[in-house]
Chains A and B, each alone.
Chain A
Amino acid sequence: MKKLILSFLVAASVSLFAGEGDKIPASTVKKLDGTKVNSNTFTNNGKPIIISFWATWCKPCKKELDAIAENYPEWVKETGVKLIAVSIDDVRSSGKVVTDVKSKGWEYEVYIDENQDFKRAMNVNNVPHTFLVDGSGKVVWSHNSYTEGDEEKLYENVKKLAAGEALSH
């Protein structure tokens, strides 16, 4: 068993150097109309995708999505980016996902990850956690937590990604 762990750890450290850049893993998430969708089918016609993990009970998550919503039409126009908001609410609050999204007027593509399969597959410990996916469907950047102004940094990276430049944290 120890050997197994060691080999896992070596592989993990190697992967750190290999960097991000793997495809979105396969998990089943639910659209707001109840239809099941596999996360590995998320696409945006070769344009960047933002995947944002959030929950209806998470204040910083909603602040981040509100801040992005203010400029989202411009972001889409300038870079073609699409934001996919993945709610990790369980049944206690998953009924609130659709009411929150609509009453806030968010124009995002929204999914519910009710038993957090996709959250686990993406190695998210806590929300908000935001990922950037490039035009070929590879996860190239991620960020945990939200503070005021993070959305501007995120957008700088979206622009860099759309222009094919190196990303920064």
Chain B
Amino acid sequence: MIGLIGHSYSKAQNNDVGSVHGSFQIDAQYYNPDSLIGAPKVPEKMLSNAFGIINYQRGKFSAGIRYEAYNNVMQGFDQRYKGQGITNRFARYQDDLLDITVGSIYEQFGSGLIFRTYYEPGLLYDNSLDGIRVISNPYKGITLKALAGKQRSFFTVGPGIVRGVDGEININELLDSTANANIKTKVIIGGSFVSKNQPETDPDLIIPENVGAYGGRINVIRGGFNFFGEYVMKENDPGLANSAVVNGKTIYSYKTGDAVFVSASYATRGFSFLLQGKRIDNMSFRSDRDASLQNLMINYLPATTKQHTYLMPAYSPYATQPLGEVGGMAEMQFKIKKGSLLGGKYGTEVTINYSHANALSQIGVNDTTTHSTLYKTEYSQAGVDLYHDFFIEINKKITKKWKATIMLSNQFNNVNIVQHNTPKGPYKNIKSKIAVVDITYKYSSNAAIRFEAQGMLRDNKDTLNLGSWAVGMVEWTPNTHFFIAALDQYNYGNPVENLRLHYFLVSAGYTSGPHRISFSYGKQRQGIFCVGGVCRVVPASNGVAISITSSF
């Protein structure tokens, strides 16, 4: 019967009734309490996160919904994700001149320093704007955007209204094509204005109900060179994020905020160089002045440090400090040619990266009025070291069957500020020396075994941290559908002798086309999980986990 309906629909599709597509993801875990590793007792025993997305498109019209269900939300996520419901729905019409969306909107102005709404299911991060957006291309090379709405906050929206406009001009496209062909330099400029409104009734404080932010950007490309720079500024925006407690009383800062981000690169076949720098001062910009953590952020402040994927180097990641930081990174990548002594038969890839972040030096302001900025900063002065990381990775295909990656990383992390947000906290700075070896043996055209060994040396006398680790992993893919893996993370350097534990985890999975199912069983250590610039802390756990993802 269903087959018949399907048949008739597929025929009808030729007459353009539109198309329906979507995706699902379900994650569930059964939790055993384990006091040794710090896995808490979970009263529900089993927790799950799930979502389903369905999109409809017909010609220039599209619409979609997302349904989310938390029964209850898994460990390590904000407990305010409770229950289930439709959290995203939109309708959109777009043609070459006009693009109009009503409903839940994802948008980014420039690099996102001033405005970015996005969805990251792995972190349960969703700051979508529930409202209207109009994008127009009135002339070749010109894009104008305008939007207004309220941001998603768990199963509702935040109290503040966000409004914004953005314009971008691609100078080369503006010029006619014959003139353009002779110009080797490409230039794109843009500017944005974003304002939020939130009523305030506090009789003692004069708090601005409207807070504006504005910025400009430029992108210049010539040959292998690429330069991008953006500067944004925010008016005084007193709120919980930049407040201070003085003599038991919360006082707000009326300081303005600003941020600058620059990225310059040179790339040619087999060689590249990248330089990035940024400075952020008082740029926590939220549509609720009382919001905290990752809630109701209007803008996006990227971390400019190396984004690690192996377990040990990603153990203590860096997170952007919206209230103040200055930092940057330099990265060089090159490929040693095939046939040379070091290049071998297939060539050798080398990546060298150094990244650094400092706090800003805050100079106290002696001002007892209700409009105090509390502190000021100078561009010429940096504060304490927050993080640095020197990193080398060598990637080599040795023969048709063998591939290897060797990675070294030397990290410094001021965890009092970066992880615990307590500048005078009790933690010692963590210094880590990390090595990773990753070897793949492809023994047939579609089957392989992969081995990973990782070591991380740390101070084993620092009782507030867990000390050194050794990690071993083996993963077998007997065919392209199936995998099975065993992982052991051994905390051999724990300052407490009876906590020098092995964290064993076995996992297996099956993939067919766009469908994937995977299981794992065992112990997972406490960790920090990051995607993009946003991180979440995942508590230790012991149990069975299942994950299903599918799209159609």
Query: Which residues of A74-98 have CB atoms within 8 Å of chain B's CB atoms?
Result: 90-93, 95-96, 98
B505 within 8 A of A: no
In the bound complex, do residue B271 and residue A103 qualify as a contact, i.e. CB atoms below 8 Å apart? yes
Interface flags, A38-77, vs B, CB<8A=1, else 0: 0000000000000000001111000000000000000000
In the bound complex, do residue B22 and residue A12 qualify as a contact, i.e. CB atoms below 8 Å apart? yes
Secondary structure of the B contact surface, majority rule: strand
State which size class the interface on A falls in: 35 or more
Task: Pick out which of these stretches binds chain A: B220-228, B245-253, B287-295, B362-370.
Answer: B220-228
Query: Which residues of B298-352 have CB atoms within 8 Å of chain A's CB atoms?
Result: 300, 302-304, 307, 309, 331, 333-335, 349
B76 within 8 A of A: no
Task: Pick out which of these stretches binds chain A: B105-113, B381-389, B537-545.
Answer: B105-113
The residues of B that contact A144 with a CB separation of less than 8 Å are 511, 513-516, 549, 551
**In the complex, what residue of chain A is closest to B441 when comparing beta carbons?**
A148
Complex CA distance for A9 and B180, rounded to whole angstroms: 49
The residues of A that contact B9 with a CB separation of less than 8 Å are 14-15, 17-18
The residues of A that contact B267 with a CB separation of less than 8 Å are 98-99, 101-103
Count of chain A to chain B residue pairs whose CB atoms are closer than 8 Å in the complex: 213
B532 within 8 A of A: yes
A16 within 8 A of B: yes
B181 within 8 A of A: no
In the bound complex, do residue A17 and residue B335 qualify as a contact, i.e. CB atoms below 8 Å apart? no
Interface flags, B521-532, vs A, CB<8A=1, else 0: 000000000001
In the bound complex, do residue A115 and residue B309 qualify as a contact, i.e. CB atoms below 8 Å apart? no
The residues of B that contact A90 with a CB separation of less than 8 Å are 112, 116, 118, 300, 302, 532-533
Q: A8-B65, A145-B516 are in contact. Are A16 and B112 (CB under 8 A)?
A: no
A residues sitting closer than 8 Å to B (CB atoms) are: 1, 4-5, 8-9, 11-22, 25-26, 33-36, 56-59, 90-93, 95-96, 98-105, 114-117, 120-121, 123-126, 129, 141-145, 147-150, 152-153, 169
B residues sitting closer than 8 Å to A (CB atoms) are: 2-3, 5-7, 9-10, 13, 19-23, 25, 53-57, 60, 62, 65, 67, 86, 94, 106-108, 111-112, 116, 118-119, 121-122, 143, 170, 173, 186, 188, 219, 221, 224, 226, 228, 261, 263, 265, 267-274, 276, 300, 302-304, 307, 309, 331, 333-335, 349, 440, 442, 444-448, 477, 479-480, 483, 511-516, 532-533, 549, 551-552
Sample of 6 A–B contacts (CB below 8 Å) = A25-B62, A91-B112, A115-B112, A129-B551, A149-B442, A149-B448
